[in-house]
Amino acid sequence: MSTDYPRESVEFQPVTVTVDGTPVTTGVQFCITAHGGRPVTWVAPTTLDGKIGVMVTGLTPGLYDIWAQITSSPEIPVIDCGIISIT
């Protein structure tokens, strides 16, 4: 995962989500939080070239965590997908 983005960029960040080692592309939602924050508002993934992820745009400089939530009944796992930096 690329980690550094200028604040003026609008870029797709692909995110690979796995459950028990198996890639998941359906039933996935994402949340971007300030580093150390907890996810609250989930959004549908952006899809580009057959990959899912988030669109990095409109963030002020700083560190951010990307979270994924897999909505599969009865479990709803939340996964910390990594950190991005906005410069």
SS (H, E, C) the chain: CCCEECCCCCEEEECCCEECCEECCCCEEEEEEECCCCCCCCECCEEECCEEEEEECCCCCEEEEEEEEECCCCCCCEEEEEEEEEC
Domain count, the chain: 1
Which pLDDT belongs to residue 20?
A: 85
Tell me the CB-side half-sphere exposure of residue 59, using CA atoms within 13 A.
25
Instruction: Name the stretches of the chain with pLDDT < 70.
Output: 1-2
Which pLDDT belongs to residue 19?
A: 83
Domain that holds residue 21: 4-86
The fraction of the chain above a pLDDT of 90, given in percent, is: 77
pTM reported for the whole predicted model: 0.90
